[in-house]
């Protein structure tokens, strides 16, 4: 061996060692060590040299790419021996559906490997990092990587967000028009029912925000937000319905600070009896002015008075019936022997002291 890259490391009767620096593919082959004895003794070994793949490159990308266009990215590396393996990744997620091609160099006995990634550009791919990873046994588990950041242009995507899901008369509402696109969309255009906003004093546009104050029925309609960029334009609509003011409280009447309410209850007996009660309600001086809610203290007082009057009426009625029935039965018993009917018996009983002493009846 006569090469400046080959050095003699050790030489003795028992061992002969050489070193080869800056190894190239031409160093591959069979090496023979001979011991010049009688007869000559030899030992052979075959040296295999791995071809290290060159750093990969990604071609086929032109910036920017319009949404919907077909993209073909090709990753290529040369000088590998044996042939290297190429893998594609998009945001660290491997893409399997790729085309793989390898070509052998007959002179150098190395391989040129290429792989093509074919897909339709989508707005979700904007800003995505596409990487081509070359793996080979000569790289000691450290692959060579080439990366490309995608730039996709697309028409604006428009959406309207409302601040009030149930707008009522007198309230206000804020409509926000969110528009996303690349390039960034120009300032949005607001319209109502196909025309300009009818009341600029109440309908104020600030950038992408439309504010409407003091809502009324005339504000009902379809509001459109339109955004555009050099790629195209897009719009969306929002139907505004202003509802009547909905009051969940019972209808009430505003009562002055000091009010007297009279409740009358009639109970029908043998004769008509009328009982009246008076309830006085004083409003809380700390109550808000103009409050139209029900005065709970006044209602509670009226109910208490009604209950009290009813109980008193029942007690009086019971006592009246008890006394009337006892008198009727006793008088009837006193004159029952000679009287043809109950009325005559009562009259006879009232005028006869003898019968009253002889016959007595008690009502329990």
Copy the structure tokens of residue 147. 């990366």
pLDDT in tens, 334-358: 455 555 666 665 666 555 444 444 5
User: What confidence score (pLDDT) does residue 360 get?
Assistant: 58
- Do 313 and 344 touch, CB atoms closer than 8 A? no
Q: Which two tokens stand for residue 9?
A: 């490391």
Task: Tell me, yes or no, whether 102 and 172 share the same domain.
Answer: no
Task: Indicate whether 68 belongs to any domain.
Answer: yes
Contacts of 56 (CB under 8 A, 6+ apart): 75, 76, 77, 86, 132, 134, 144, 145, 146
Read off the pTM: 0.56
CATH, residue 234: 2.60.40.10
Q: What are the Cα distances from residue 220, in Å, to 166, 173, 215, 240? A: 13, 12, 9, 5
Domain boundary among 150, 177, 202: 150
**In sequence order, what are the beta bridge partners of 216?**
none
How far apart are alpha carbons 215 and 205 in whole angstroms?
16
Model confidence pLDDT, tens digit, residues 179-208: 999 999 988 999 999 999 999 999 999 999
* Confidence band, pLDDT 50/70/90 cuts, at residue 270: very low
140: left (phi over 0), alpha (psi -120 to 50) or beta: left
Containing domain of residue 225, as a range?
Answer: 155-240
The DSSP element (H or E) to which 358 belongs, if any, is helix 353-358
Q: Which of 182, 206, 240 is the last residue of a domain?
A: 240
65 plus 140 within the same structural domain: yes
Contact 186, 166 (CB under 8 A): no
Residue holding tokens 């428009």?
A: 158
**Shared domain check, 207 and 179:** yes
Q: What are phi and psi of 343, to 5 degrees?
A: -65, -40
Q: Is residue 179 part of a domain?
A: yes
User: Which DSSP state fits 290?
Assistant: T
Measured distance CA(44)–CA(77) in Å, rounded = 34
CA dist., res. 125 & res. 88, Å (int): 15
Q: How far apart are CA 339 and CA 324, in angstroms?
A: 21
Give the number of C-alpha atoms closer than 13 A to the C-alpha of residue 90, restricted to the C-beta side: 15
Is residue 80 in a domain?
yes
- Reported as a single tens digit per residue, the pLDDT across 99-111 is 999 999 878 789 9
Both 89 and 164 in a single domain?
Answer: no
Q: Please give the Cα distance from 338 to 59 (Å, whole number).
A: 137
pLDDT, one tens digit per residue, over 102-157 is 999 878 789 999 999 999 999 999 999 999 999 999 998 889 999 999 999 999 99
Cis peptide before 183 (omega within 30 of 0): yes
Residue 144 and residue 159 in one domain: no
The answer to whether residues 210 and 204 touch, using CB atoms and an 8 Å cutoff, is yes
* Residue 173: other Cβ atoms inside 10 A: 20
Q: Which of 150, 178, 213 is the last residue of a domain?
A: 150
User: What's residue 280's pLDDT?
Assistant: 35
Residues 181 and 102 in one domain: no
**Structure-model confidence comparison of residues 286 and 120, the more confident one:** 120
Is the pLDDT at 260 greater than 60? The verdict is no
CB-based contacts of 3, cutoff 8 Å, min separation 6: 20
- d(C-alpha 42, C-alpha 34), whole Å: 4
User: pLDDT higher for 47 or 258?
Assistant: 47
User: Residue 287: its pLDDT value, please?
Assistant: 41
Asked whether residue 40 falls in the same domain as residue 78, the answer is: no
Q: How far apart are CA 44 and CA 30, in angstroms?
A: 7
Residues 94 and 166 in one domain: no
Place of tokens 């604006």: 156
Considering the domain boundaries, does residue 299 fall inside one? no
Domains held by the chain: number: 3
CB of 89 closer than 8 Å to CB of 64: no
**Residue 317 within any structural domain of the chain:** no
pLDDT at 329: 47
Domain shared by 160 and 231, yes or no: yes
| Residue 211 falls inside a structural domain | yes
Let me know whether 138 and 219 are in one domain.
Answer: no
**How far apart, in whole angstroms, are the C-alpha atoms of residue 273 and residue 266?**
6
Is 199 a member of any domain?
yes
Q: What percentage of the chain has pLDDT greater than the value 90?
A: 55
Whether a cis peptide bond, with omega within 30° of 0, leads into 13 is: no
Instruction: Flag whether 258 is in a domain.
Output: no
Q: For 201, how many CA atoms within 13 A lie in the half-sphere containing its CB?
A: 1
What are the phi and psi torsion angles at 36 (to 5°)? Answer: -80, 85
Question: Residue 226 above 70 pLDDT?
Answer: yes
70 and 132 part of one domain: yes
Sheet with 221-229, strands from edge to edge, namely: 189-192, 221-229, 232-240
State whether 146 and 200 are in the same domain: no
């Amino acid at each position: 061996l006569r090469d400046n890259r080959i050095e003699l490391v050790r030489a003795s009767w028992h061992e002969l060692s050489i070193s080869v620096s800056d190894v190239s593919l031409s160093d591959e082959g069979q090496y023979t060590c001979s011991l010049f004895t009688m007869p000559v003794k030899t030992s052979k070994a075959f040296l295999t040299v791995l071809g290290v793949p060159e750093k990969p490159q990604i071609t086929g990308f032109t910036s920017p790419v319009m949404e919907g266009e077909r993209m073909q990215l090709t990753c290529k590396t040369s000088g590998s021996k044996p042939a290297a393996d190429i893998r594609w990744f998009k945001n660290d997620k491997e893409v399997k559906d790729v085309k793989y091609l390898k070509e052998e160099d007959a002179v150098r006995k190395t391989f040129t490997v290429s792989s093509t990634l074919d897909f339709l550009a989508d707005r979700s791919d904007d800003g995505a990092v596409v990487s081509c990873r070359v793996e080979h046994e000569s790289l000691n588990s450290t692959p060579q990587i080439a990366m490309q950041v995608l730039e996709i242009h697309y028409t604006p995507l428009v959406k309207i967000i409302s601040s009030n899901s149930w707008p009522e008369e007198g309230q206000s509402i804020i409509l926000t028009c969110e528009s996303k696109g690349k390039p960034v969309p120009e300032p949005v255009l607001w319209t109502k029912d196909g025309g300009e906003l009818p009341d600029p004093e109440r309908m104020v546009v600030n950038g992408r925000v439309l504010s409407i104050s003091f809502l009324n029925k005339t504000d009902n309609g379809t509001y459109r937000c339109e955004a555009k960029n050099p790629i195209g334009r897009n719009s969306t609509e929002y139907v505004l319905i202003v509802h009547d003011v909905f009051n969940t409280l019972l209808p009430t009447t505003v009562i002055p600070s000091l009010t007297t309410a009279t409740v009358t209850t009639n109970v029908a007996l043998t004769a008509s009896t009328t009982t009246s009660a008076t309830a006085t309600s004083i409003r809380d001086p700390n109550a808000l002015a103009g409050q139209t809610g029900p005065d709970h203290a006044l209602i509670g007082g009226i109910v208490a008075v009604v209950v009290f009057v009813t109980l008193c009426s029942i007690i009086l009625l019971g006592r009246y019936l008890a006394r009337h029935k006892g008198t009727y039965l006793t008088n009837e018993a006193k004159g029952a022997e000679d009287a043809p009917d109950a009325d005559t018996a009562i009259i006879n009983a009232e005028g006869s002291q003898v019968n009253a002493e002889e016959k007595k009846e008690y009502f329990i």
